[in-house]
Every structure is written in structure tokens, then in C-alpha cells.
């Protein structure tokens, strides 16, 4: 009789433990969302999205990870899964989009001085200028063009308050292609913005805010960089030769003024594309 009671109690404990284990396993398959109130300024929301470690204590957690999370809605005819988590996600995106539109500086893209013509293809921008029979083309892509400053500050425990947050600035790599009439090859420069040269404090001597990484001759009109063509890396280049290459670009309108305006243009393009992405994501989640 006593053995039967012990077995019954042991079975009940195992059932209870299995139920608890199953319930605890559910959140592992669900993402943690931030509270809509965190969408204040653009840099603040982005840094929180990447770095916030308190998402597990968000007010949404109870709703998102309740037993209703897997129950599909019957109000939509798309046939997709709709959950309480999707609704909370959609509400968050609505708030985020409103905040991003509030802080958007340029409703239309800024103009480049110097007679540059702009062509857009999604996230890729192309600036074209003709100078005395030469065609100068500058191409850049805004994807992955935001420096990870906020991760560095968070790791060092030096992240500033929301009012002191620096603006997000897009600093894309860009390629300059110089083509002469009748030439079969173009002189191509692979350029970038070194992190320590993007901005200067008061009293600092002005230097080039962009740098040449590589130089090569490439077949005219080719979109892919041919690895079989000799490429000159500037890391170990003689400074006199490097200065002449920088002067060569400056004579064709690619100088510090151009680089400043390119960053402003790229930042505006990146912000527009970010808002479009949020709108598309909201439509996908809500099945609009």
C-alpha cells in the first residue's frame, strides 16, 4: 500500500515537471520585442534594437508568450498565421515609422553641387559628371554604411543620454571611375571614409576625409572588379604618388566638399530606405 502511494506521488511530480518544462521552452522560439515607448529618436531606437538587454522584462512579454500566441486569427482571409505577437509587432512598427518620419531631415534627396547627375537603383546611387571629354562616375551603396558607433559606446559604458545622441551619418565606400574618350579601360579608384578622419575638432588641421584604398585599370562599362587586372593597394604606397592620385581626383571634382555632400546624400537615401523597409515589414506582419 505504501509503495503504491509513493509511485502515485512520483508520477504526479513527473507530470508537473514535464508541464513546467514545456511551458518554459515556448519563449525560446519567439523573439523578444521592445516596448513602443522606446521609439524616440532614430539613433536611440536603432541602438536599443541592437543592444538592449532588458527586452525580457518588457511589458509585452506576458502577452507575447501566453498560450494565445499560437492561435491564428480568423479575421484575415490571407491564410497566414496571425498572433497576438504579430499585433504587438505591428503596433510597435507603427510607432517606429511615425518617429522616423518626424526626425527625417530631407523629404527629397539633397542636390550635389558641381553638375553631378544622380541615378538611383534601389539602395545603389550613381553620380555622373562630364569634364572636358572625360566621364567621371561615382557609385555607392547605402547598405551597411552606418558605422557601429553605438556598439562601441555600449561596450565601453560611455553611451550618452538621448538628448546628446550623435546623429546617424552614412559613410559608404564608393568607387570612382574615370573614362577618357576612345580608351578601352577606365581608371578606377576604390575609396572609403576612415573612421578617424570623418570629423575634426576645432583647431585641428583639415585633412582628407576620404581615402583611396585601391587603384586599378578596368574594362570600360564592366560592373564587376576583375581580379585578373593589376590592383595597386595604397597601404604601402609612396606618399608622393598617393598625393598625386588624390590631386587627380580633386581636379575632377572628387574632393572634401564632394565627400561631405556625398555623406549627406547617402544619409538621406539610407534613411528613406530604412523607412520603406519598416513600412514593408509592417505590411508583411499585418498582411496588408
What whole-number distance in Å separates Cα of residue 168 and Cα of residue 164? 12
- What is the sign, positive or negative, of the torsion defined by CA atoms of 148, 151, 157, 163? positive
Q: Judge residue 254's burial from the number of C-beta atoms within 10 Å of its C-beta, 0-12 exposed, 13-18 middle, 19 or more buried.
A: buried
Closest-CA residue to 112 (of 8, 250, 266): 266
Decide the pairing of beta strands 134-141 and 185-192: unpaired
Cell 518626424, residue located:
102
What HEC string does 4-20 produce? Answer: HHHHHHHHHHHHHHHHH
What whole-number distance in Å separates Cα of residue 212 and Cα of residue 141? 17
Residues 170, 199 contacting (CB under 8 angstroms)? no
pLDDT tens over the chain, length 288 residues = 444 444 444 444 444 444 444 333 333 333 333 343 333 334 444 543 443 434 333 343 334 344 444 455 545 666 678 889 999 999 999 999 999 999 998 888 999 999 999 999 999 999 999 999 899 999 999 999 998 864 555 455 555 555 556 788 999 999 999 999 888 899 999 999 998 655 444 545 568 999 999 999 998 766 677 788 899 999 989 999 999 999 999 999 999 999 999 999 999 999 999 999 999 999 999 876
- How much is the pLDDT for 44? 40
- How much is the pLDDT for 111? 93
- How much is the pLDDT for 263? 97
Whether this model's pTM surpasses 0.85: no
Topology of the domain comprising 2-15+100-285? Mitochondrial Matrix Protein; Chain A (3.10.280)
Q: Please compute Rg for the chain using Cα positions.
A: 27
Q: Can you give the residue ranges of every domain in the chain?
A: 2-15+100-285
DSSP string across 88-138:
HHHHHHHHHHHHHHHT-S-SSPPPPSSSPEEEEETTEEEEEEEETTEEEEE
Q: What's the CA angle centered on 286, arms 284 and 287, to 5 degrees?
A: 60
- How much is the pLDDT for 54? 41
Dump strand ranges (E) for 112-235: 117-121, 124-131, 134-141, 174-180, 185-192, 211-219, 231-233
Quote the cell numbers at residue 132.
572636358
Amino acid at each position: 500500500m505504501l509503495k503504491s502511494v509513493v509511485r502515485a506521488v512520483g508520477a504526479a511530480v513527473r507530470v508537473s515537471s514535464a508541464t513546467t518544462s514545456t511551458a518554459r521552452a515556448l519563449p525560446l522560439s519567439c523573439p523578444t520585442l521592445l516596448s513602443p515607448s522606446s521609439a524616440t529618436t532614430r539613433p536611440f531606437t536603432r541602438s536599443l534594437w541592437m543592444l538592449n538587454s532588458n527586452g525580457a522584462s518588457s511589458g509585452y512579454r506576458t502577452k507575447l508568450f501566453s498560450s494565445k500566441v499560437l492561435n491564428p486569427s480568423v479575421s484575415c482571409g490571407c491564410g497566414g498565421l496571425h498572433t497576438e505577437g504579430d499585433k504587438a509587432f505591428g503596433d510597435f512598427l507603427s510607432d517606429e515609422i511615425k518617429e522616423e518620419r518626424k526626425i527625417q531631415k530631407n523629404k527629397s534627396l539633397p542636390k550635389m553641387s558641381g553638375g553631378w547627375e544622380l541615378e538611383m537603383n534601389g539602395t545603389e546611387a550613381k553620380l555622373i559628371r562630364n569634364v572636358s571629354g572625360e566621364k567621371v562616375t561615382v557609385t555607392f551603396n547605402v547598405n551597411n554604411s552606418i558605422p557601429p558607433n553605438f556598439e562601441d559606446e555600449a561596450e565601453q559604458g560611455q553611451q550618452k543620454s538621448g538628448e546628446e545622441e550623435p546623429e546617424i551619418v552614412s559613410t559608404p565606400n564608393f568607387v570612382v571611375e574615370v573614362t577618357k574618350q576612345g580608351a578601352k579601360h577606365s581608371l578606377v579608384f576604390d575609396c572609403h571614409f576612415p573612421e578617424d578622419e570623418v570629423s575634426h575638432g576645432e583647431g585641428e588641421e583639415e585633412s582628407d576625409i576620404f581615402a583611396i584604398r585601391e587603384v586599378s585599370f578596368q574594362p570600360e562599362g564592366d560592373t564587376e572588379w576583375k581580379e585578373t587586372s593589376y590592383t595597386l593597394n595604397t597601404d604601402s604606397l609612396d606618399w608622393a604618388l598617393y598625393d598625386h592620385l588624390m590631386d587627380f581626383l580633386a581636379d575632377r571634382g572628387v574632393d572634401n566638399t564632394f565627400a561631405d555632400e556625398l555623406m549627406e546624400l547617402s544619409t538621406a537615401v539610407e534613411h528613406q530606405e530604412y523607412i520603406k523597409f519598416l513600412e514593408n515589414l509592417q505590411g508583411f506582419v499585418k498582411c496588408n
